[in-house]
Structure formats: structure tokens, C-alpha cells
């Protein structure tokens, strides 16, 4: 992932779904599959995730994705998702019809260990 800047649209967030021990979590029967984004300033924005099976058929793991679109942020009317510079945190949330739930660890870095951050533009 390259740097994400204030106002960027089209950014795709991707996270392979594992629990605290690194074990793969199967979301295929979950009724709720979401990204919880804590944006700079502390507000949490919840977005429905897309489930992408990985590793063949049957899948051996799953990746959750979400693509930022214009007007995806907070407020009424909604502002932009990448509205403020600063650190970003991500947590995944799943729920099933039987009432069980799962929350991933809170992520502050991407898969390459780089900090999740929204950067200022030079202008």
C-alpha cells in the first residue's frame, strides 16, 4: 500500500482474517462482516466488508476488503473518509445468527509493518 492522503478516494483496505493466535477464522456463515475504522480524532466508522476467499476451493483463508468511496466519512451530509491527517486503526467484527461474535486484534500497521496513517498533502 502506498501513502494515503487527506481526500484520497479509491483506497482499498485488505486484512487476512485471523484470530489472536494467528489461526484462520472462517467468515463464510457470518451474518455481519465489518471493518471498524478508528480515524484520526478518535471517531469510529463502521463499514460492511467484502469477503474474498483465498487458497483455492475450498478456501484455506479469507481476506476482508473495503474500498473507500467519495462521501464515505462522518457527518450529515457525510464528509470524506480520509478527512484528517493522523494515525488510523482497524478492527474486524463478525457476528453469526447464533449470537456468537468475533473481534480481531486492533491493527495499527499494514501487512508489511508500516504504520496505518493518513498523511497531509503538500498543498
Reported as a single tens digit per residue, the pLDDT across 36-74 is 999 999 999 999 999 999 988 888 899 999 999 999 999
pLDDT range class, residue 10, cuts 50, 70, 90: very high
Q: Is the pTM of this model over 0.85?
A: yes
Ordered by where they begin, the domains of the chain are 4-119 (2.60.40)
Question: Using alpha carbons only, what angle is made at residue 32 by residues 101 and 47, rounded to the nearest 5 degrees?
Answer: 115
pLDDT of 19 > 60? The answer is: yes
| Tens-place pLDDT, residues 70-115 | 999 998 889 999 999 999 999 999 999 999 999 999 999 988 899 9
Q: What is the pLDDT of residue 97?
A: 97
Q: What is the pLDDT of residue 22?
A: 81
pLDDT of 8 > 60? The answer is: yes
C-alpha–C-alpha distance, residues 105 and 116, integer Å:
14
Q: What is the pLDDT of residue 83?
A: 95
Q: What is the pLDDT of residue 32?
A: 97
3-state SS record for 99-119: CCEEECCCECECCCCCECEEE
Rama region for 120: left / alpha / beta (φ>0; ψ in -120 to 50; rest)? beta
Element (H, E) at 54: strand 50-54
Amino acid at each position: 500500500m502506498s501513502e494515503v492522503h487527506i481526500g484520497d478516494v479509491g483506497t482499498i483496505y485488505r486484512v487476512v482474517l485471523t484470530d489472536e493466535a494467528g489461526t484462520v477464522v472462517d467468515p463464510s456463515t457470518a451474518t455481519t462482516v465489518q471493518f471498524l475504522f478508528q480515524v484520526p480524532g478518535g471517531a469510529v466508522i463502521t463499514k460492511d466488508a467484502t469477503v474474498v476467499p483465498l487458497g483455492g476451493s475450498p478456501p484455506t483463508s479469507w481476506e476482508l476488503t473495503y474500498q473507500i468511496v467519495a462521501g464515505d466519512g462522518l457527518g450529515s451530509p457525510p464528509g470524506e473518509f480520509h478527512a484528517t491527517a493522523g494515525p488510523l486503526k482497524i478492527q474486524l467484527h463478525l457476528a453469526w445468527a447464533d449470537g456468537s461474535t468475533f473481534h480481531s486484534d486492533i491493527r495499527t500497521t499494514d501487512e508489511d509493518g508500516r504504520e496505518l496513517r493518513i498523511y497531509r498533502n503538500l498543498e
